Amino acid sequence: MTMAATTFASDPRSMLQSIHAGFSGVDTPAYRTAVGDLSFAKLHDASAALAERLMTMDAGQNRHPVLIWGHKDLPYMVAYWACLLAGMPLVPVEPETPVDRLCQIAEVCQADIILDATIDAPFIDILSVPGLPVLDIDVNAVPLASVTVPDFAADDVAYIMFSSGTLGQPKGIQVTYTNLADFVDWLPELLPETDHAGVTGNIRHCFDVSLFELWMSWTRRAPITALDHADFANSTGYIARLANDGVTLSVSTPSITRLLLKNKRYNGDVLPQMRAFVFCGEPLTKAIVAELFTRFPGCRVVNTYGPTECTVAVTSVDITAAHLTAEEDIPIGTPRHGVMVYTANDTSCGEMMIAGKCVAKGYFGLPEKQAHAFPFTQTYRSGDWAAVDAQGQWTFQGRMDREVKIQGVRIDLNDIEAHIRKQEGVEDVVVEPYMLRGEPRALNAFVIGDASDETLASLAQTLASELPPYLVPRFWYSGFVTVLNNNSKIDRSHLHDAVKTAAFKHVHTA
């Protein structure tokens, strides 16, 4: 039975209202962690109760953004829905974020409340941030009345994702309710199977690829089986939970699946319910797809592509055996409904431009970056080089700048170098990805300046106190012979020798 052909995007407020109402009284689990479950009924009640609380506060009246501090605990879902119901933009912040950066983020987006979505004792420092009250979340709370989502304008912001930027203020990407609803409208087309009974919880909520997991769960009322990233080494335990929970849909970056595939238990015999694998966030490799085809016969493997600035993903394609034998890389697919993709030079290969309702509102308080990245109405300049074939199928060719992805997280190497260069005693530095089996796995920093093991360790320490862990290089080298290139810059192609010849080395551990 289908409803009239209205889209969520035409009325995001009623989307939120109707999906939330659908949770009421449903006692099946919505979110499952290693320590317990949260039912849809409880998610419904507790989020409505928290939204009531938020809406009576000044921040709620003013619809200021709310920081959600947490990783993968049950209160996270309550916090998420409370913000949606209260019409307050939510800002996911992982618990390992240094306090200085947390304050910067709060300042940039004018957030004045933190929701503590952890179940352990909160990271003590967040309690001492002046002007940022921390609210606890009661997952057993019930609302006084039924909650009404406030009216909002089409370009009101639903969530803000902060990405890489290490210099000056962090880059906050604002995504509107209309962008969000337009993405949710796409899901039944992308994943029309009606029998999805469980979804992975692979992705951190600060990374927008998690929206595939969240909204598939919420629109199908299927549980999410959440992966705690601190527990990553225990993939055997996670696979057992996926099997036990009957998960049918995997959403992941290629990096996460590559790790799971290291475990021989990750196969269709152990996980007979698995139906589909959706990828986003990094280039999907043929090796991963071939392994999935072998271990999970008959499952769909879907590749998608999209920058956070265009609301999760904008292209998709079902990968077939023919893609594996083709000369070209795995394609990223064709644009979803309502999205136009073209190259900046109007040829079949160039910088991808993305236009349509998917294009987000843009950056907080960064007018220059905004003007460059969003040159026309509803248009985003991706910085990604891509090619399109005669059938309209796109293939990603690489970044135009020095942005790399590690575990799906966008990292601008220039940005990190500039941050290290500011530190005392550093003359120059080159940051390069640490590659294993052709994949970036961490960062190497090659430092020129006052050299000793101690200065490297203290540089790493300083960076760790100022930046999120994924932006802090793991391997630090100094005291190596530098070779200059024709432009009198450090020749990066000779740096692999520095790993062997460096007099000083430090390994930074989080």
Partner 1 sequence: MSTQIEAQVIVSIVELLEMEDSSAITLATKIEGDLGIDSGLLLELFMMLEENVANLEIDPAELRPEEFETVGSFAKMIATCVKGTVAA
Residues forming contacts to partner 1 in the complex (CB under 8 A) are 230, 232-237, 259, 262-264, 407, 434, 436-437, 441-442, 474-475, 507, 509-510
Q: What is the three-class DSSP state of 352? A: strand
Containing 14, the helix (H) or strand (E) segment is helix 12-21
Q: Cα separation of 433 and 474, whole Å?
A: 10
Contact 362, 373 (CB under 8 A): yes
- Shortest separation between residue 255's beta carbon and partner 1, angstroms: 8
Q: How far is the CB of 447 from partner 1 (least distance, A)?
A: 16
CB of 120 to partner 1, least distance (A): 17
Q: Shortest gap between Cβ of 233 and partner 1 (angstroms)?
A: 5
Identify which of residues 44 and 508 has a Cβ nearer to partner 1 in the complex. 508
Closest contact distance (angstroms) between CB of 475 and partner 1 is 6
Backbone angles phi, psi at 391, to 5 degrees: -85, 0
- Residue at token pair 């991808």: 352
Task: Tell me the C-alpha distance between 384 and 307, whole Å.
Answer: 9
92: exposed, middle or buried (Cβ count in 10 Å: 0-12, 13-18, 19+): buried
**Cβ at position 236, least distance to partner 1 in Å:** 6
Min CB(198)–partner 1 separation in Å = 21
Nearer of residues 57 and 442 to partner 1, judged by Cβ: 442
**Runs of H (alpha helix) within 262-326:** 286-295, 321-325
* DSSP of 248-268: -EEEE-HHHHHHHHTSTT-ST
- CA angle 8/14/16 to nearest 5° reads 85
Instruction: Give the torsion through C-alpha atoms of 397, 443, 159, 359, to 10 deg.
Output: -20
CB of 158 to partner 1, least distance (A): 31
In angstroms, what is the minimal distance from the CB of 458 to partner 1? Answer: 16
CB of 509 to partner 1, least distance (A): 5
Residue with smaller CB distance to partner 1, 236 or 345: 236
Q: How far is the CB of 435 from partner 1 (least distance, A)?
A: 8
25, HSE (Cβ side, Cα atoms, 13 Å): 2
> Whose structure tokens read 């000044």?
58
CB 204 within 8 A of CB 71: yes
Nearer to partner 1, 369 or 441 (CB): 441
Judged by beta carbon, residue 381 or residue 508, the one nearer partner 1 is 508
Burial class (CB in 10 A: 0-12, 13-18, 19+), 203: buried
Measured CA distances, 324 to 191, 328, 470 (Å): 22, 9, 32
In the complex with partner 1, the residue whose CB is nearer, 192 or 438, is 438
Which of 300/505 has CB closer to partner 1? Answer: 505
Work out the number of other CB atoms within 10 angstroms of the CB of residue 49: 21
Contact 126, 69 (CB under 8 A): yes
Residue 18 or 236: the one with the smaller Cβ distance to partner 1 is 236
Residue 231 or 318 with smaller CB distance to partner 1: 231
Local structure of 90: helix, strand or coil: strand
**Cβ burial 373-407 (10 Å sphere, 16+ → b, else e):** bbeeeebbbbebbbbbeeeebbbbbeeeeebbbbb
Residues with Cβ within 8 Å of 332's Cβ and at least 6 positions away in sequence, in order, are: 303, 304, 305, 315, 316, 317, 386, 394, 395, 396
Min CB(438)–partner 1 separation in Å:
10
Torsion of CA 418, 419, 425, 431, to 10 degrees: -70
Task: Give the helix ranges, DSSP H, for 87-169.
Answer: 99-109
Residue among 248 and 253 whose Cβ is closer to partner 1 = 253
Pick 58 or 120: Cβ nearer partner 1: 120
CB closer to partner 1, 216 vs 463 = 463
In angstroms, give the least distance from the CB of 500 to partner 1: 9
Which is nearer to partner 1, 6 or 244 (by Cβ)? 244
